[in-house]
């Protein structure tokens, strides 16, 4: 027979092991943010830069004017301020620094990116 204290300790140990090996059930710690296209042209690329190299394109479909999408680094580790590049369907593009530790909303305009922190 397992004593109540031992039962509680066993349950906590199993819960901790489960959380460690099943990230979907662990505490949600990541840089998740929404992106809104406030411009007149579809966005076809969203890239971030690390150590001088641009990432692969984060968006698989276009972000049409007025559309909102949710993106996620799937981590909360690394440098907070990340250079971010936006490319439109007409070939124009720009890049800007974003503090992803604070940003939860990015608004894309024709020639600039505005990020907003949670209020």
| pLDDT tens, per residue, the chain with 119 residues | 545 444 444 344 444 443 444 444 444 567 889 999 999 999 999 999 999 999 999 999 999 999 999 999 888 788 899 999 999 999 999 999 999 989 999 999 999 999 998 66
Ordered strands of the 43-50 beta sheet:
53-54, 43-50, 81-88, 93-99
What per-residue confidence (pLDDT) applies to 20? 43
Alpha-helical segments (H) within 66-117: none
What does the alpha-carbon distance between residue 82 and residue 100 come to, in Å, rounded to a whole number? Answer: 7
| pTM summary value | 0.72
- CA dihedral in degrees (99, 100, 101, 105; nearest 10)? 100
What does the alpha-carbon distance between residue 30 and residue 40 come to, in Å, rounded to a whole number? Answer: 30
Specify whether the CB–CB gap between 49 and 58 falls below 8 A.
no
β-partners of residue 47 are 85
Which domains are seen in the chain, by residue range? 1-25 (no CATH), 32-117 (2.60.40)
What per-residue confidence (pLDDT) applies to 103? 92
């Amino acid at each position: 027979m397992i004593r109540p204290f031992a039962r509680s300790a066993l349950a906590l140990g199993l819960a901790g092991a489960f959380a460690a090996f099943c990230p979907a059930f662990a505490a949600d710690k990541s840089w998740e943010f929404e992106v809104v296209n406030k411009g007149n042209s579809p966005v076809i690329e969203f890239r971030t830069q690390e150590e001088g190299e641009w990432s692969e394109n984060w968006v698989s479909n276009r972000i049409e004017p007025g559309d909102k999408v949710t993106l996620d680094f799937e981590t909360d580790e690394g440098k907070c301020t990340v250079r971010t590049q936006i490319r439109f369907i007409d070939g124009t593009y720009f890049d800007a620094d974003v503090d992803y530790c604070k940003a939860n909303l990015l608004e894309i305009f024709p020639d600039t990116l505005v990020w907003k922190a949670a209020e």
